[in-house]
Amino acid sequence: MPVHNAEIAAMFDQAAELLEIKGDNPFRTRAYRRAARVLESLPKSVAAMLRAGEDLAELPGIGEDLASKIATIVETGKFDLLESLKRELPGDLGEIAAIPGLGPKRVKLLIEKLGVRSIEDVRRAAKRGRLGELPGFGPKLQQNILAALAKPVAAKRFKLPFAEAEAGALIDWLSRGLDGGRVVAAGSFRRRRDTVGDLDILATTTRAAAVGDRLVEYEDVAKALAHGPTRTTVILRSGIQVDLRVVKEESCGAALMYFTGSKAHNIALRNLAVDRGWKLNEYGLFDEDSAIAGETEEGIYKKLGLQFVPPELREDRGEIALAQKNALPHLVQLSDIRGDLHVHSNWSDGNATIAEMTQAAKARGYAYMALTDHSRRVTIAHGLDRARLLRQIDEIDRLNAKLRGFTVLKGIEVDILADGSLDLPDEVLSRLDIVVAAVHYKFDLSRDEQTERIIRAMDNRHVSILAHPTGRLIEERAPYDIDMDRVMTAAKERGCCLELNAEPDRLDLTDVAAKAAKELGVQIAISTDAHSTAGLAYMRYGVDQARRGWLEPGDVINTRPLRYLKKLIRR
DNA sequence: GCCGTTTTCGGCCCGACTGTTTTCAGTCG
């Protein structure tokens, strides 16, 4: 039973939480948390790295001790430290600590003084008013705890289109109340993560209090959680939390940097400042008491001896070392994209004609578009059988004959059957310009079976691109279990490309997987999977994700002119 | 527990807000 990086990361997070409650050295708990984040963003599984004889202690934040603990976990599946911590501190302590207002110190008090072990214990103690016996538990805190227990909010993350709509409306509202100054979104929203947990909004103005007041007055506010002179936190009716921070113009860059994060990136930058005897905070970069930068992010990076780091790269995944050497990747941009390689029409489950999709793609400035309707197995989508596909090929030939400066590539999104064979015979596939292969059923195969199935599909030399490689639907359906290391290696060996599906419900590959593909030299297609003309606009989400995966134009096949593209998709 | 053009020991990012106190700890980001 292979142990995934994410599982080890979760063990480290749990251990950190329990060590915190115990009151252990806070820097030790931080080390476990940092290591967990490093593990989560590794391009390869540690199991594979160990097999290859790599030294895990060379990873940032992982020393001899953690390297050996990881090796033991991979070997045995067990983490002794965590096991003994759990024996020492049994119960659902993680859930208790997740209640707003309850941190490690207060949880420790609850355990020691009231013998609390579960959320139910907390509820009983709160109802009997026993929490008031504890130091630091005033009436207000008890009330907040009861309220939180009455309406448990699931830790939810929000998809980008929803976050964009909420942020847009809110920024508009705040801006209209501002005389001078500006309002922007920062946080993971600005870093273009695939989902956001909350909205971090930054306003620059001299009248700080007025902006916070205006946020509290916003009609969609369900509850104000905190409201100070420079910082205000509210929950909107939709359930998303908004953190507003207001600073003066001269601190704008520093505040934007601080509020954009990531936390790990910020800490690394602040350490660089400390190395030089300076201090970096949300107000600026300071030598003693005098500000030496702060109005712009560019100015701060420059003073720290760094190239400007695009927000998408700010995850402490190696970008700082490269920025010191002026060697950051030249990230792909939306304007580099010359075509879309996964598009549906009303021949299957799209809602527009081939001509309409073509016009819309052309209007976006593209040079080509691959029409890739579903194959016959996807009956619910009215998938194409051999005869209909041949008719479609004829229709596209006729359409192409009339087009100037634009080419519709004849393609299919062919289903990968359970045994890894394809849903249409080679004789038909060979007549197409491009074949995109995808899994749409039998998600529950074992890891080995699913991996073999997909690799077998890529064995077919007509397959140019593996579509949405993990099948995940964000917040709805987990990725099916595959060995991504093996799939990518197999793709590389066969000259098959992987898709980065730009649909904001999918964004599949993830940023981390895209970076791993790049490092292996696997070419990526950023494709929208559009089922309507409007769907073509999802390209920007795919490009954002690709940038988070460090992809450059040369890593992305649909930045190529048609001539070169054709070489890349023919095997 | 990690890490090192000061260091293998002694540091470890920085500040806002709340609630409970009366000068600050705890929590959060």
| CA angle in degrees (0–180, nearest 5) for A157-A163-A166 | 130
Question: What pLDDT, on a 0 to 100 scale, did the predictor assign at position A1?
Answer: 58
User: Would you state the pLDDT for residue A566?
Assistant: 94
Distance, CA of A109 to C1' of B8, in Å:
37
Integer Rg of chain A from CA: 26
Q: Which residue is nearest to nucleotide B16 (CA to C1')?
A: A231
**Given this model, what pLDDT does residue A155 score?**
67
Q: Find all residues with CB under 8 Å of A436, minimum gap 6, and list them.
A: A341, A342, A370, A372, A411, A412, A413, A414, A463, A464, A465, A466, A467, A499, A527
Domain A5-150 belongs in CATH node 1.10.150.110:
yes
pLDDT of residue A207: 82
* pLDDT value, residue A99: 87
On whether the CB atoms of residues A464 and A566 are closer than 8 A, the answer is no
Asked if A262 and A228 touch (Cβ cutoff 8 Å), the reply is no
pLDDT at A92: 86
pLDDT tens-digit profile of A258-268? 999 999 999 99
Residue A562 CB neighbours (<10 A): 13
Q: Is A502 within 8 Å of A538 (Cβ atoms)?
A: yes
**Which pLDDT score is estimated for A94?**
86
- What's the pTM? 0.90
CA distance linking residue A454 with residue A504, whole number of Å? 23
Q: Which nucleotide is nearest to A230 (CA to C1')?
A: B16
Q: Strand ranges (DSSP E) for A101-230?
A: 158-159, 182-185, 195-196, 198-204, 221-227
Cβ(A349)–Cβ(A381) under 8 Å? yes
Structure tokens of A454? Answer: 């997909």
The fold of A334-569 is TIM Barrel (3.20.20)
Sort residue A466 into left (φ over 0), alpha (ψ -120 to 50) or beta: beta
> How many Å from the CA of A32 to C1' of B9?
21
A173 φ, ψ (degrees, to nearest 5): -60, -45
CB atoms within 10 A of CB A44: 17
- Which CATH superfamily does the domain covering A262-324 fall into? DNA polymerase, thumb domain (3.30.210.10)
CATH topology of domain A158-247: Beta Polymerase; domain 2 (3.30.460)
Question: pLDDT (tens digit, 9 = 90+) per residue, A350-404?
Answer: 999 999 999 999 999 999 999 999 999 888 788 999 999 999 999 999 999 999 9
Under-70 pLDDT residues of chain A: 1-2, 152-155
From the C1' of B12, which residue's alpha carbon is nearest? A27
Beta bridge partners of A241: A198, A235
CA of residue A83 to C1' of nucleotide B17, angstroms: 36
**Residue A31: nearest nucleotide (C-alpha to C1'):** B1
Peptide bond before A262: cis, by omega within 30 degrees of 0?
yes
**Domain spans of chain A, in order of start:** 5-150, 158-247, 262-324, 334-569
Strand B nucleotides, any atom under 7 Å from protein beta carbons: they are 1-3, 11-21, 25-29
